[in-house]
Chains A and B, each alone.
Chain A
Amino acid sequence: MKKKNKLNQKIFHLYNFFKLTTLIEKMGVHQVLKVLPFGNACCSLDLIATFGPKKCNDIFNISLANDIYSENESDLLIISGFLTPKVLPEIFNIYKKMIRPTKVMALGACASSGGLYENTDMLKELFKNIPVDVFVPGCPPHPSAIIQALDYLQNKS
């Protein structure tokens, strides 16, 4: 183990020496986003699977397990779950309080287009009420899809 660590350090130094300029460029592109996950349904299971085992922390500087930010501190709202008429005002209230510019991710079929529940009062067109930056399809979406969406949000100019 020790040998491996030393080797890694050496490689990292070399990397630093030669590629520092590219690293500075790369890290600059990745804006650190503070996430507020709002979800009352199954999509949250895959959201936890993405953030929980620290897959995401190293790549995107996003942490969910260590500290959850309140509405006033965060700038990425992940909306998932059943958008019933009763829960919508709560989402709007949270959205109003957040830091501008706010990024919004609609996660899963229910948040994007109403999902399975046709003929009920559930909201089918979220983007008419809140500007949505990225839709993630799937019921529920695969963690790799969520990671791809985060990547897209961070690199979006």
Chain B
Amino acid sequence: MTQNILFKFGKRIKKINDQNYKVEISQNNFLKDLNTFKEKGFISLTDINCLDQLNLSKIENQSRFKLSYLLTNLDLTIRLRADIYIEKDEEIPTVDSLWENAKWFERELLDLFGIRFSDRKYKRLFNEGFLKGHPLRKDFDQSKEGSFSEKLERNDKDSGENVDLWEKVSSNYPGQKGTFNLLAKFSNDMTTSIELDLGYTHRGVEKLCEKNNYNQIIHLVERLNFNSSALNSIGWCKAIEEMLEVNLPDKAKALRMIIGELARVFDHLNNIAQMLFEMNLNDYHCLIISSRELISYLFEKYIGKRIHLSFVFIGGVRQDVDDQWITDCFNILSTLMDRVNSLSKGLCRNSVFRGKMKGGKISKKDALAWGGTGPSLRASGVNYDLRKNDPYYFYQDVNFEIPLGPEGTAFDRLLVRIEEIRQSMKIVMQLLENLPGGKIADDLYNSVDMAQRVILKNKEEHYSASEVANGELGFSVYSDGKNIPYRVKIKSPSFCNMQIFSELAINEKKDFLLPFLTSLNIVASEIDR
């Protein structure tokens, strides 16, 4: 099946591994080639990555930038990377006629690399009016290009314009203030236009990744989606271990899955609590938060930290679980299971709540076209979960199901989350019953000078994805043969989900706007990076 699709392109397509293929395309028939890929089933644009080749010693092509379009075939779960080389001041055509979600990716490239797209006058996505230069270029000088005091004055003048026309939509929930600026215009309680300003939490994680070694980046990555930080660090370690070809011990795999699934439960419960808070169910919100705290209690008992666990490193897991922890975990999971059951029973009976959550409909077609992943894709009825489609660790051995929603409304997304909590707890219980013995880390990497041991000599750019609570989290890593990466691109699930919101919120009722936003579980520090 895979061969049939790729056969037509002949020798141009090269195989990286079973899931990943690459192809080089030229400027002349750029759009034509991409169009044929789309017709052959690569319907989803996962990411657009850029590589600045200024400081590289050995390169295939002397051009300054390499743009990579990462396309995914959801049926077969294969990814195709289409590379194109361009010069510094060269313009390339936009692809938003083929994939609608390309718009934000291109704006991001304009912001961080200064790549211009013909026929489009984009605004910078994060740093409009704050930076002169382009921070991810290798010759960026921080001291020259924009200073702090200038920016403060400039922004004070800007605020206060057009206050009457636009209405600010923001959630009151702690942790949501100051994450992004969402302005909307209404007529007769219908949203007519939306203006979204991002970049309030842009702190340059990808730039910092180029200065830290592979084990230090774990801590940077954990703070992307802080609701389920364990899953992020697992995804990063998985990407590097695939490049190093480490054989992880069985126990380390099982422990990563246990803590990862508990983090998923934590994230979903946090999102449900936030949703209840927005619906003025404050006391109910407190109950869910106290249930969520049971899981932080488990984390604290396991590794000593509540939110950023830092329990993995490249090559294994830092700590083993003891018998006391396992019995505690069983007890807490059984109480949580009862609470989640009564939560779903209660919420389904509440007709006022159901009525408020009716909005925010994402159809199957929209979800695919805008590159949605995770519960917001599955609530629209698309059966795509990387734990089933591209199983890693022991996900093919444990017994669990993927819940799907019928219509894709906000209420469907809530129900999908509740069912996913049940399935995650089921996975944890199965793993705890059959916990493998043996070592918890690979001997080579478990040492004092582990920062120096992790050196990637593999020159091929590698993309690795894992299923986190919001959707698909991917890392593209390019190595220069040193102990720090040359370039890291983070494909975050919230980035695509926020783009869906910014387009589909138009023609939505005013009352449905906040439930729609909270049901997507958007974390701004993951969008901005």
Q: Do A and B form a real pair?
A: yes
B406 close to A (CB within 8 Å): no
Is B346 at the interface (CB under 8 A from chain A)?
A: no
With A38-B177, A53-B290 known as contacts, the answer to whether A120 contacts B207 (CB < 8 A) is yes
Q: Which of A6-14, A26-34, A80-88 contacts B (4 or more CB under 8 A)?
A: A80-88
Q: Are the CB atoms of A49 and B178 closer together than 8 Å?
A: no
For A85, the chain B residues whose CB sits under 8 A away are 130, 148, 151-152
Contact with B along A60-81 (1 / 0, CB 8 A): 0000111010000000000001
Distance in Å: Cβ of B282 to nearest Cβ of chain A:
5
Which residues of chain B are near A58, meaning CB under 8 Å? none
Q: Quick check: B219 and A116 within 8 Å, CB to CB? A: yes
A37 located at the interface, meaning its Cβ lies under 8 Å from any Cβ of chain B in the complex = yes
Question: Contact between B211 and A119 (Cβ–Cβ < 8 Å)?
Answer: yes
Q: Let me know if B306 and A46 touch, CB within 8 A.
A: yes
Contact A120 B204 (CB under 8 A): yes
Interface size on B, residues (CB 8 A): 48
- CB proximity of A25 to chain B, nearest CB, Å: 31
Binds B, one of A16-24, A89-97, A98-106, A149-157: A89-97
- Asked if B293 is at the interface of the complex by the 8 Å CB criterion, the answer is yes
Contact of A41 among B146, B156, B172, B223 (CB under 8 A): B223
Q: Which of B260-318 contact A (CB under 8 A)?
A: 270, 273, 277, 282-283, 285-286, 289-290, 292-293, 296, 306-308
Asked if A40 contacts B178 (CB within 8 A), the reply is: yes
Pair B201/A45 contact, Cβ less than 8 Å: no
Write the chain B residue with the least CB distance to A41.
B525
| Chain A residues within 8 Å of B229, by CB | 42
The distance in angstroms between the C-alpha atoms of A82 and B156, with both chains bound, is 19
Q: By CB atoms of chain B within 10 A, which of A46, A53, A88 has the most?
A: A53
A119 touching B142 in the complex, CB below 8 Å, given contacts A40-B524, A44-B175: yes
The answer to whether A40 touches B155 (Cβ under 8 A) is no
B49 CB, min distance to chain A CBs, angstroms: 21
Contacts of A44 in B (CB 8 A): 174-175
Residues in B with CB closer than 8 Å to A53 are 286, 289-290, 293
Contact B152 A42 (CB under 8 A): no
CB contact between B155 and one of A46, A49, A89, A118 (< 8 Å): that residue = A89
Which residue of chain B has its CB nearest to the CB of A91? Answer: B178
Is A136 at the interface (CB under 8 A from chain B)?
no
B14 at the interface (CB under 8 A from A): no
The interface residues of chain B lying within 8 Å CB-to-CB of A49 are 289, 292-293, 296, 306
Chain B 215-239: CB-based contact to A (< 8 A → 1; otherwise 0): 0000110010011010000000000
**Which residues of the other chain, A, contact B307 by a CB distance below 8 angstroms?**
42, 45-46, 140
A129 smallest CB distance to B (angstroms): 9
Q: Is the CB of A86 within 8 A of B289?
A: no
**Chain B min CB distance to A119 (Å):** 7
Cα distance, A90 to B524, chains bound together (Å): 16
Tell me, yes or no, whether A130 is within 8 Å of chain B by CB. Answer: no
**Contacts known (A46-B306, A119-B208); A82 close to B525, Cβ less than 8 A:** yes
**With A and B bound together, what is the CA distance between A123 and B148 in angstroms?**
9
Q: A86 — nearest CB in chain B belongs to which residue?
A: B200
Contacts of B174 in A (CB 8 A): 37, 39, 44, 47-48, 51, 64
Given contacts A52-B289, A140-B307, whether A40 and B175 have CB atoms under 8 Å apart is: yes
Q: Which of A93, A120, A142 lies in contact with B159, CB distance below 8 A?
A: A93
Are A89 and B159 interface neighbours, CB within 8 A?
Answer: yes
Q: A81-B178, A89-B159 are in contact. Are A48 and B289 (CB under 8 A)?
A: yes
Which among A90, A116, A122 is the interface contact of B178 at CB below 8 angstroms? Answer: A90
Asked whether, in the complex, the Cβ of A122 is within 8 Å of the Cβ of B175, the reply is no
Q: Which chain A positions have C-beta within 8 A of B223?
A: 41-42, 116
In the complex, which residues of chain B have a beta carbon less than 8 angstroms from the beta carbon of A123?
148
Is residue B199 within 8 Å, beta carbon to beta carbon, of the partner chain?
yes
Which residues from chain B sit less than 8 Å from chain A, CB to CB? 130, 142, 146, 148, 151-152, 155-156, 159, 172, 174-179, 199-204, 207-208, 211, 219-220, 223, 226-227, 229, 270, 273, 277, 282-283, 285-286, 289-290, 292-293, 296, 306-308, 524-525
A/B interface sample: 9 pairs, CB < 8 A: A38-B177, A40-B201, A44-B174, A49-B292, A64-B174, A81-B178, A82-B525, A89-B159, A90-B178
